Homo-oligomer: A and B are copies of this chain.
Amino acid sequence: MTADAPLKQPGRPSLIQVAALSGVSAKTASRALSGEGYVAAKTRQRVHEAADQLGYRPNGVARDLRRGAKASTLVGLISGDLANPFYSRLASGLERKLRVNGLQLITASTEENPEWERQLTDTLLERRVRGLVIASTMAGHDHLAGERIHGIPFVFVDRPPVGLSADAVLLDNRGGARQAARHLVEAGHRRIGVIGDLSRLFTHRDRIGGFAEVVETAGITGWADYLLEDAHDVATAERAVRELLGRTPAPTALFTLNNRITTGAVRALRGHPSPPALIGFDELDLGDFLGVSVITHDPEEMGRWAAQLLLDQLFGDADEPARHVVLPTRLLVRDSSERPPRDLGG
């Protein structure tokens, strides 16, 4: 019971070593360090000194194993691209709400690669995070079916679960696209170029759907000729816009389906002698400065809702049915969409 703990250098010291060095049992050392109470002040101090001296750091893995998954304070967020301000603002809203509830957010990026999403969810699930928020890029989610029943709570954001009933926070993509389309159609535009993201994504398809409703109701046929898809990054979007503008007849207006694509369009339109009208889905950094009309919404609010649904699953009734929250969009008219159609074609 003296200070000579078995020195298996250079591994990290364990609680046992701390206990040995301070001449108490493991449990007492544990109590002293975790502040559980019922430890004499003197003992407590001796244990702390021993811990400091050895450079002891508790092993959270062992603790979690013993205490069960409920001990973890980590919540994971998995998304396609954390560099996108939409997701980073979502993450920010989520994090703040989690933090006041004693939870910590960790985020991971899949770069819209389903295989990486699968690996990341597996890793985080296996390491027993407390909960998971997913902006999924996968086509289906059968592999998560077991989780909700006897596992880790999760919430889908931005994109809904497929083949699975689960909580989700979504945007009114259809409604937003309708607002944009109506705005352009009412200004007299008949040839509207639409530039979209990866065509497999739910958000993309829904936005196209909303747009189609409006233009078809307005009697505009052949709109799909001016639809370009899979422009996932700024450069591709820029090229797509140039291509559209080079056509005869050229579109008199542009609807870009997310913030990156809008950025590409802004670039492509730079210095253009008679640019088409432009409206984009998602707010843009410096959007007011640039004078770009947008369909705006509140990514932080989406994050806060995701946190709320997760907290309800963690601390509320376990048997609640899955809930879906749909957040509204708002049309923000700035200069770029006020350019009238400038010819008689169409």
Task: Judge if A274 is at the interface, Cβ distance under 8 Å.
Answer: no
Question: A145 vs B125: C-alpha distance in the bound complex, in angstroms?
Answer: 31
In the complex, what residues of B have CB within 8 A of residue A61's CB?
61, 64-65, 69, 126-128
Contact with B along A278-321 (1 / 0, CB 8 A): 00000001100110000000000000000000000000000000
Judging by beta carbons under 8 Å apart, are A59 and B104 in contact?
Answer: no
B107 with A120: CB separation less than 8 A: no
- Within the complex, the shortest CB–CB distance from A346 to chain B, in Å, comes to 30
The answer to whether A12 has its CB under 8 Å from any CB of chain B is yes
A96-127 vs B: 1/0 string, CB under 8 Å?
00010000111111000000100110111111
* Assembled-state Cα–Cα distance A128/B63 (Å): 12
Judging by beta carbons under 8 Å apart, are B107 and A108 in contact? yes
**Contact stretch, chosen from A146-154, A174-182, A323-331:** A146-154
Q: Given the complex, which residues of B lie within 8 Å of A99, measured CB to CB?
A: 116
Tell me the count of chain A residues lying within 8 A, CB to CB, of chain B.
58
- Among B11, B83, B105, B150, point to the contact of A109 (Cβ < 8 A): B105
A88 to chain B, nearest CB (A): 4
Q: Are A106 and B104 in contact (CB under 8 A)?
A: no
> A2 near B: Cβ within 8 Å?
no
Q: A60-B128, A104-B120 are in contact. Are A91 and B109 (CB under 8 A)?
A: yes
Contact at B73–A150, with CB atoms within 8 Å? no
* A64/B289 in contact, CB under 8 A: no
Beta-carbon contact of B55 and A146 below 8 Å = yes
Smallest CB–CB gap between A113 and chain B, Å?
10
Q: Contact between A150 and B10 (Cβ–Cβ < 8 Å)? A: yes
Contacts of A217 in B (CB 8 A): none
How many copies are assembled? 2
Q: Is the CB of A105 within 8 A of B108?
A: yes
B contact residues around A88 at 8 Å (CB): 82-83, 88
Q: Are the CB atoms of A123 and B74 closer together than 8 Å?
A: yes
Q: With a CB–CB cut-off of 8 A, which chain B residues contact A106? A: 76, 106-108, 124
Does A195 sit within 8 A of B, measured CB to CB?
no
Within 8 A of B (CB), among A181-208: none
CB pair B126 A60 closer than 8 Å: yes
Q: Is the CB of A85 within 8 A of B83?
A: yes
- A12-B151, A61-B64, A62-B65 known; A104+B119 contact, CB < 8 A: yes
20 contacts between A and B (CB under 8 A): A10-B149, A10-B150, A12-B151, A57-B125, A60-B123, A60-B126, A64-B127, A72-B127, A73-B123, A74-B127, A82-B82, A82-B107, A88-B88, A91-B109, A105-B108, A106-B108, A107-B108, A263-B285, A263-B286, A285-B286
A-B residue pairs, 7 tightest by C-beta: A55-B146, A60-B126, A83-B88, A60-B127, A106-B106, A10-B150, A61-B65
